Amino acid sequence: MKKWALVTGASSGIGAELARVYSEEGYNVVLVARRKQKLAKLAKELQGNGSEVHVIAMDLSAKEAARELFDAVQQLDIQIDALVNNAGFTYLGAFLDQDLDNAHEMMQLNLVTLVSLTYLFANPMVDAGKGHVLNLASTTGFQPTPGYTLYSAGKALVRSFSEGLTEELKGTGVSVTVLCPGPTDSEMIDDIKTKSSVGPPEFMIADSRSVAKAGFDAATSGEAVCVPGLINKVSTIIAGQAPRWIVRSAFGVMGRKMINNP
C-alpha cells in the first residue's frame, strides 16, 4: 500500500512543490490550506500521477486548527507516514509598527500549529515504528533578521525544536528534518517586491521545485538539517561562527534598507 503524506500550506510555492514531489515519489497526499480552489486544481494534477488525494480546506492559524485537522484525518481512516509542516507567513516591517493581532496570528500558525501538529501526528508514527516529519524553517532562523524580527525568531525556534526532537526520537523509526531555505521564488518573495525596492538579488532566489526536492531527499534519508544551496550553506556557517555583534549589525543594515525603501 502507498504511504500517505500530509502537506500544509500546499496551495502555492514550496508547499505545492512538496506535494508534487511526494506524489511523484509514490505517496498519496492530503493537501491542506485555506484556498480550496487552488487545492482542488493541484489535487487533480496529483491524481494524474496515480496518487489518491484528499483536500482539507481550513485556516491553520485558528486556535484549535491542529486538533481539528488531526480529527479530520482520523475520519479518513488513513495513517500519515510523512507530516510536512510547510504552512506559514510573515510581514515585512518594523516589529513595533505591526498590528499585534497579526503578530499573534503569525505565531499561532508558524509556531503553535506546527508544534501541535508534530505532537499529534508523530505519536501515531512512533506507535507504528515508522514515518518522518519535515518542518519548514529558514536561513533567517540562523541569525536575527531586522524587518522580519518575529518571523526569524520563530524560525529559530522551529529549527531548535526540530533538532531536539530528532535526538529524542532516535531508535523509534521516526525521523525529523528541518528544511531551511534561503530566498525562494514564492508568494512571500512577490510580497517583498511589492513592499520594498530593496530585496535579495535574483541570483540568490532559488526555485521552489529545487528546494522541495532537497527537502524530500533530506527527510526520506533521515537528515536532521537541510540547507539547500551553496550560498545559503556558507551564509549559515558564517552566521554561526562570526561574533554576534557583527552578524546583528550586518543584518541590521540590510533590514533597515528594506524597511525604509518602499
What domains appear along the chain, each with residue ranges and CATH number?
Answer: 4-259 (3.40.50.720)
Report phi then psi at 146, rounded to 5. Answer: -55, 140
Of the candidates 22, 27, 148, 151, the residue annotated as catalytic is 151
pLDDT of residue 104: 96
Quote helix, strand, coil % in the chain, to nearest 5.
55, 15, 30
pTM of the prediction? 0.90
Among 75, 80, 66, 78, CA closest to 174: 80
Whose cell is 527537502? That residue is 215
> DSSP letters of 98-155?
S-HHHHHHHHIIIIIIHHHHHHHHHHHHHHHT-EEEEEE--GGGGS--TTSHHHHHHH
Question: Is residue 151 annotated as part of the catalytic site, yes or no?
Answer: yes
Written as nine digits, the cell of 190 is 512577490
29-85 pLDDT per residue, tens: 999 999 999 999 999 999 999 999 999 999 999 999 999 999 999 999 999 999 999
Q: How far apart are CA 136 and CA 95, in angstroms?
A: 22
In this structure, are strands 174-179 and 53-57 parallel, antiparallel, or unpaired?
unpaired
158-214 pLDDT per residue, tens: 999 999 999 999 999 999 999 999 887 766 666 665 655 556 556 667 788 999 999
Axis crossing angle, helix 208-220 with helix 13-24, rounded to the nearest 10: 50
